[in-house]
């Protein structure tokens, strides 16, 4: 299952802005300012883009996305119990999530 970035942000344009801001934060070395949701949305956007292109990231792009994944991991581990419960509830209830196309 993937977070449905289109549903969460209200469409492609807003999702694109979240992605651009998150990638800019990585380039600027300020990735720590991105929220777990921003990081998750950026990964959703990148996944959809690569899926539509029929290619997968390589080289620098892959390393950048690996940094996003690691930052997301750290952000999820740092969630408070209340935040964790909310996220788990959304996952359990299927809110704003879609089945991943594998």
Ranking 15-24, 25-34, 93-102 by mean pLDDT, the lowest is 93-102
**Full residue range of the structural domain in which residue 63 is found:** 2-98
Provide the token pair at 27. 């380039």
**What's the pLDDT tens digit per position in 48-96?**
999 999 999 999 999 999 999 999 999 999 999 998 888 777 667 655 5
**What's the pLDDT tens digit per position in 40-49?**
999 999 999 9
Round to whole Å and give the CA distance between 77 and 95: 21
Beta pairing class for 97-98 and 2-3:
antiparallel
Total structural domains within the chain: 1
Provide the token pair at 57. 């990231």
- What does pLDDT average to over the chain? 85
Q: What's the pLDDT score for residue 2?
A: 62
Contact 65, 36 (CB under 8 A): no
Q: What's the pLDDT score for residue 31?
A: 79
Provide the token pair at 100. 């991943």
């Amino acid at each position: 299952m993937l977070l449905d970035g289109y549903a969460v942000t209200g469409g492609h344009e807003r999702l694109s802005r979240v992605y651009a801001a998150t990638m800019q934060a990585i380039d600027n070395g300020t990735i720590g300012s991105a929220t777990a949701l921003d990081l998750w949305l950026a990964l959703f956007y990148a996944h959809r883009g690569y899926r539509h292109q029929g290619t997968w990231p390589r080289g620098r792009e892959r390393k950048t996305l690996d940094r996003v994944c690691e930052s997301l991991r750290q952000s999820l581990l740092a969630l408070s119990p209340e935040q964790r419960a909310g996220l788990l509830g959304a996952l359990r209830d299927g809110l704003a999530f879609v089945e991943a196309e594998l």
